[in-house]
Structure 1
């Protein structure tokens, strides 16, 4: 029996090919969309982490200290807050001893009740020939993130 192909068979074959092509395109589109959704989810998670870390850093104070030379013989220890939050109950400790700062000036200014962002305090320093050039200072404070923060600062003259 001879096989005859008429116009309906050709149209049905083309429809089958078009349907297979459309199915393949849909699957490839779905894969691309799935990878796009995964990328978007990763970006959202990174953004949430960034926002959380910014919220934490917004509650932290960051204190530092360094010696500042004024003129030829005058030195001062400058303590500053470069963090985003207010530091409270600021205390200075000297693990290796204090032989450079004037004790009366230190007692008068510390413990300091609070220090706002970008605020600083200066202490008079008595520098002489026998003064060592490197000093260790432990700065202890409280802020909105923690009730006990401390930082060791190595300052040089």
Structure 2
């Protein structure tokens, strides 16, 4: 027994195949669209995290210290602020003892009321033989981010 194919059978078969192809392409397109939306959501999340981090860093002062040499025998301890906001009530401590900074320099200049961005303060250092080359210095300050910031630095002569 043979089935005679009529023109309407051929057209119906072609329409079915075309419909199946269109369905397959729609599913593929929807999968790509879903992946694109997920990618955009991840990107938006990262942008939000970056903006929050920038907002936090704009409220922080970042203090540092190093010894500088002026001429043959003069040394200074330079304390600076490279943060994006001013440091307030800046104080300096020497956890392992102070061997080289003149005590009157510390008492005259600290606590420092304000250390603005890119501003620095220098303390006279008395350097001689027998003084260790690496010193531990604890810097304490307040800024818009926190009232109790601390940083330990290890400047060397």
Q: How does 1:2-151 map to 2 (within 5 A)?
A: 2-151=2-151
Cα distance between partner residues in 2 of 1:16 and 1:153: 76
Q: Whole-Å Cα distance in 2 between the matches of residues 29 and 108 of structure 1? A: 72
- How many residue pairs are counted as aligned between the two chains? 157
Unpaired segments of 5 or more residues in structure 2?
A: none
Which stretches in structure 1 are left out of the alignment for 5+ residues?
A: none
- Provide the rounded CA distance (Å) in 2 between the counterparts of 1:137 and 1:105: 15
CA deviations on 1:43-90 (whole Å, 9 max, x unpaired) are 111111111111111111110000000111000000001111111000
What per-residue deviation string (whole Å, max 9, x for no partner) do you get for residues 113-143 of structure 1? 0111111111111112232212111000001
For 2:4 and 2:130, the matched residues in 1 are separated by 114
Per the alignment, residue 155 of structure 1 pairs with 155
Q: TM-score when scaled to structure 2?
A: 0.96
TM-score by length of 1: 0.96
Q: How many angstroms apart in 1 are the aligned matches of 2:156 and 2:6?
A: 97
1:2–1:113 Cα change, 3 Å: same
What SS does the aligned partner of 1:156 have? coil
| Offset at residue 97 of structure 1 (A) | 1.4
Following superposition, the deviation at residue 94 of structure 1 comes to 0.8
